[in-house]
Each structure stands twice: as structure tokens, then as C-alpha cells.
Amino acid sequence: MSIPSVDLGEFLSGDSVRKNQFVQNLGRAYEEIGFVAVKNHGISDDLIADLYEYVQQFFSLPLEQKKQYEIKGLAGQRGYTSFGKEHAKGSEAPDLKEFFQYGQIARDNFDEVIYPDNVSVKEICDFDRTLAEAYRAFEKSGTALLQAIALYLGLDENYFDEFVYNGNSVLRSIHYPPITTEPVSAIRAEQHEDINLITLLVGASADGLEILSKQDDWVAVTSLPEQIVVNVGDMLQRLTNNKLCSTTHRVVNPARQFWHTSRFSIPFFLHPKTTMSLRCLENCIDDAHPKLYDDITAGEYLDERLREIGLKA
């Protein structure tokens, strides 16, 4: 399945007709499917190549070295999380992955919340710098996409800007190790929906991503090398009272002949500030679409979900 493709350059073109067409195309795709492929996204090929190179170097370190970056009490939100710690909501089976998370460095003397410090990796000299550069590139592209979403929802174009700037986004580098024994399940990462507003996924070193269609069929997702995949998360679905879809997705095991290979994936989970209200937007509520969710802040919702997936006690 080729998910709908949009060109962010159209939105940023300065041409009102092209900009509006992008807004409509993006909005319809998020109502109907919840996933799009985005080209001209502004994240350079060189940066993406560096990011994957250093991420693979990190996960190649011996386990005892990686575990020194697993910091107790951070609920996996910074640094390393070892294999099998996280599971999908509603599933007892651990996902077959390890990961490393890099978070916000707040600007402008921001003190609304105190974010944990990022965990510096000493063995790979350019690791920290590359994660920081990639973080800001993803944040910039994600902000532009949220501006288009705001227009589609009938909001001011910059509605999300204040919530995303200094927001609680995280860049996650994931390693699915080679399969060395007969797996209990055919799933590397069980079916789930993302917690955040939107997720930007740049490449993956192997196939495996599948989404659940409205016909309840699992369909493999493909995108071209110059595209990133961007999907709606539960926070945006909640805010829009289910107008925009947070699509269920999973990562499946490769064919047996590829069990000896690793899979690497780097999603950017775009979160707002923890104080942002996720109260359903008034213009997404009417007689045909009654309010579906209780009021909650982004921070409260994140805490709830981190407990559900086993990262927080």
C-alpha cells in the first residue's frame, strides 16, 4: 500500500492556492487513513545518513556499555532503554526492541516545566551533536505540518506553535535485534497507536511497518527514500474529537531468511508542552459528533499512557 503523498514545499511556497490544496490533501488523508508520506520535508539527506550511522554505532556497543546510559527514574524518556522493557497498551508481551531517547533542551529561560537532562554518550563523539541537530530539524518540519492541520480544523494557522515551541517532543532511535531463536510471536512491536500529536518517521533500515485499514486488514506501508512518514497520534485524535484518526500500526518480523539482520527506525514523537489542554475543540463537537473524551492536559495523558506501556510505575 502506498499511503497518500504530500509535498510540504507546496505549503511553504507562498502561493495561496497551492498552500490551500496542501491543507485539504493533508487533512483528508488524516481523516481517512491517519498516515501520509511527506516529501520536501526539510530534513537533509546528509543529516539522515549521519543519524543512522551514529545510531547503529551506539547499538553495536556491548550491552554493559549501553546499560550505563539507562537511567532509573526517567521512564525511558531520556537515554537508553534495554531490550524487552516496553510493551503495547493492552499487551503483556514485551516488544522486541531496545531504544535511545533524546529530548527537548528548552530555550528562552523556559521554566514552565523542568525537562530531564539528555544523556550524553561518550563513546561516539558526534552522537550527541547529531541527535540535537536532527531534533531541531524534525521540530521545524513538524511545526509546519501542524500549521497546515490547524488551518484544516478552522483554527488560526499558528494555533499549535506556542505549544510545540519548548514542547515535550522526543527523538527515539530504535533497534530491533536479529532473531536468534524461534519467536513466540510474529510481531516485533505489537499493535498500538502513538501517544503524541504527530509522529515523523524518517526511513527504516528494513520493511516491517504495517497499518490497520478501516476494513480491518493489516497492510504494509511503503514510502520512497526521499519521503518521511507522518501519522496522527492519540493526543491529536483526542483534541479533534476523533475527526483526525490515530491509526493502529505495528512492526512485524521479517521473513526467516532475514532473521539474522537488525532493523533500525528513528521516529520523532512531537509532543506539546505538558500544560496544553487536550479538551476537545468546540468546532469538532456537534449533534452528530458528541464530545467523546474527558478534559485532560498533555502531561496528565502522557503519564497515564507511560504507565499503560510499562515504562512508568
CATH number at residue 24: 2.60.120.330
pLDDT at 56: 96
The chain-wide mean pLDDT, for the chain, equals 90
Mean pLDDT of 250-275: 89
**pLDDT tens digits for range 61-111:** 999 999 999 998 888 899 999 987 877 677 666 778 899 999 999 998 787
Mean pLDDT of 224-247: 93
- Identify any residues that bridge with 184 across adjacent strands, giving them in sequence order: none
pLDDT at 204: 65
Q: 131: Cβ–Cβ under 8 A, 6 or more apart, which residues? A: 51, 54, 102, 118, 171, 173
The share of the chain scoring above pLDDT 70, in percent, equals 94
pLDDT at 119: 96
Domain-located, residue 82: yes
**pLDDT tens digits for range 169-198:** 999 999 998 887 776 665 767 788 999 999
**pLDDT tens digits for range 107-143:** 987 877 778 999 999 999 999 999 999 999 999 999 9
Domain-located, residue 90: yes
CA dihedral 224, 208, 247, 142 (to 10 degrees): -50
**pLDDT tens digits for range 194-217:** 999 999 998 765 578 888 888 888
pLDDT at 178: 87
CA pair distance 68, 109, nearest whole angstrom:
30
Residue 85 grid cell: 522493557
Residue 12 grid cell: 511553504
Count: domains in the chain = 1
Contact 236, 172 (CB under 8 A): no
CA pair distance 134, 81, nearest whole angstrom:
20
> What are the CA-CA distances from residue 286 to residues 5, 116, 148, 244 (Å)?
31, 40, 23, 15
Domain-located, residue 263: yes
CA pair distance 313, 170, nearest whole angstrom:
20
**Structural domain containing residue 151:** 5-308
Q: Counting every residue, how long is the chain?
A: 313
Residue 96 grid cell: 522486541
Domain-located, residue 313: no
Residue 260: is its pLDDT beyond 90?
Answer: no
